[in-house]
Amino acid sequence: MKRATLRDIAQALGITVATVSRALKDYPDISAATKLAVLTTAERLHYAPHPLAVKLRQKAYKVVGVVVPDIVHPFFADVISGIVDVVEALGYHVILSQSNESYEKEIRVTQMLQATGVDGLLVCLSNETVAVDHLRALQDYNLPVVLFDKISSGLDASTVVTNDFQGAYDAVAHLLDQGYTRVAHLKGPAHPENTRQRFAGYQAALAAYGLPFRPEYVLECQAVTHAEGFAFAQQLLALPEPPQAIFAVTDSVAIGAITALKQAGRRVPQDVAVIGFSDWAVCQLLEPTVSSVAQPGYDIGRRASELLLREIQQLRDEQPPEHSHLVLDATVRVRQSSQRPLPGGA
């Protein structure tokens, strides 16, 4: 079946496309009779406006581009889900791309998105990304960009992130509240701002509780993997005075550490308490269940989309786009791995 156009309707009725167009959009200066005729033949021909023609005329793509380092990562899947729900509710669609944590590919992908036509971009920077000229170039062409999760201060754009500092602080405070005084941190690499914030939250909590910062309790992961958690936990156990609790920069590191602790004959949480970060679904399935800090992925996606759509609208209205910087709270989810047994307990 060939798709019907305004011309088909017009020819069937012996009128012009202009009249048909206005009849379909319920303009006041079209008679009720013609409106009815147009509507019924439009129905009969299964007419639907051609999306490209409308968009070309309206100069609106009705599409936002999304760039994440890795679609498969559960956190990003959450974010994407939030984005899709918000933008679809406003008649927009989502074009998805991944940078594979590569700076080069991020550049390629953002340019492809601009070339293919989007009204705005939601970007989580790759770990490799330092310079953001490729994004500034997009802004120069009136393409609004909103950064989320992995952001950059080098770009004048709206941002939405998790409060990593507060999340880390709360996690460590949760440990300290239970009376632990020797709390280690398996931190992430220096670069992504997120992991630095988590480290800062760790330090701040120690300070707030009047505890000394002990450098030997802080080990820096590079790949942030299960294997690193495993190795570093063993290293901590080998200390003359091993820690009573561990705050890991990520769940995979935490789980690796728990595995190492168990293999070394330590019980979790009785001998060593552990808490991770990100609250992956696996945390609820492990034994013991793993405490973690939940990042509001879905909400990050929602809020970032809302900011972007607002900026898109402002640009259409010839207003200068306003930038906002949102910091969403992380939530400590206390499970078995970080619960200190009561002194008098069984």
Partner DNA sequence: TTTCTTTCCGAAATCGGTTACGTTATCGAT
Partner DNA sequence: ATCGATAACGTAACCGATTTCGGAAAGAAA
Q: Which residues bind DNA (CB under 7 A)?
A: 3-7, 14-19, 21-22, 24-25, 29-34, 47-50, 53-54, 56-59
Interaction mask 169-208, a second copy, x per CB under 8 A: ----------------------------------------
Shortest distance (Å) from residue 14 CB to DNA: 7
> What three-state secondary structure class fits 124?
coil
In the bound state with DNA, the residue whose beta carbon lies nearer, of 27 and 213, is 27
Structure tokens at 179: 């009376």
d(CA 149, CA 265): 37
Site string for a second copy, 114-133 (x = CB under 8 A): xxxx----------------
Taking a C-beta distance cutoff of 8 angstroms, is the pair 157, 323 a contact? Answer: yes
Contact 224, 257 (CB under 8 A): no
Amino acid making up residue 32: A
Nearer to DNA, 22 or 134 (CB): 22
Distances in Å between the alpha carbon of 238 and those of 233, 235, 246, 307?
Answer: 9, 5, 14, 49
C-beta of 117 vs 193, nearer to a second copy: 117
Reading phi first (left if > 0) and then psi (alpha if -120 to 50, else beta), residue 321 is in beta
d(CA 69, CA 285): 26
| Cα–Cα nearest to 246, from 265, 266, 75, 263 | 266
Shortest distance, position 27 Cβ to a second copy, whole Å: 22
User: Would strands 331-333 and 292-294 be described as parallel, antiparallel, or unpaired?
Assistant: antiparallel
Mark 82-111 with x for binding to a second copy (rule: CB under 8 A) and - for no binding.
Answer: --x---x----xxxxxx----------x--
- Chain residues binding a second copy by CB under 8 A are 1, 3, 48, 50-53, 55-56, 61-63, 70-74, 77-78, 80-81, 84, 88, 93-98, 109, 112-117, 140-142, 226, 252, 255, 259, 262, 281-282, 285-287
